[in-house]
């Protein structure tokens, strides 16, 4: 999945050592979307990606991410783990899906275009009676 917005918070980097003795590090950012109703999204760059994609407050970015949830002591926690982050130009037009080509209209009907008011329709035209062959 992808999201675009402006970095509004860069949290302090965190690091440590796992139970297995492996070193780890992570960098968290808060992004604010550029929609009519902006949303704030906190995402994580984990491991080498924390240094691979340096960002600062005020940068406009497109973030590719995965959402992952885990259970701990009966509660569920959700992380948004970014795997790619690219700076974007906020003034560039938003990318949109390519427009589908509209099928060409068929040839115009032969003959002159009708003029004048449409003919009047009465209620009798809609009630056919017992000779109606409609199934309902």
Give pLDDT tens digits for 8-29.
999 999 999 989 999 999 999 9
What are the structural domains of the chain?
A: 2-87 (2.40.50.140)
pLDDT at 90 > cutoff 90: no
pLDDT at 120 > cutoff 50: yes
Half-sphere exposure of 23 (CA within 13 A, CB side): 2
Is residue 44 within 8 Å of 15, Cβ to Cβ?
no
Per-residue pLDDT of 14-71, as tens digits, reads 999 989 999 999 999 999 999 999 999 999 999 889 889 989 999 999 999 999 999 9
Separation in Å, CA 66 to CA 63, 82, 84: 10, 6, 10
Phi, psi of 35 (to 5 degrees): -95, 175
Output the pTM of the full model: 0.64
């Amino acid at each position: 999945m992808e999201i675009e917005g402006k970095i509004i918070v860069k949290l302090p980097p965190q690091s440590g050592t796992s139970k297995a003795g492996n070193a780890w590090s992570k960098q968290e950012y808060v992004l604010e979307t550029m929609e009519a109703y902006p949303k704030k999204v906190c995402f994580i760059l984990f491991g080498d990606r924390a240094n691979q994609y340096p960002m600062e407050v005020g940068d406009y970015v497109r973030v590719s991410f995965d959402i992952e949830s885990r259970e701990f002591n009966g509660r569920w926690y959700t992380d948004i783990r970014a795997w790619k982050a690219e700076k974007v130009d906020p003034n560039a037009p938003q990318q949109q899906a390519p427009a589908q080509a509209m099928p060409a209209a068929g040839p115009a009907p032969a003959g002159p275009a009708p003029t004048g008011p449409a003919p009047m329709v009465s209620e009798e035209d809609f009630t056919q009676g017992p000779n109606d062959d409609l199934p309902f």
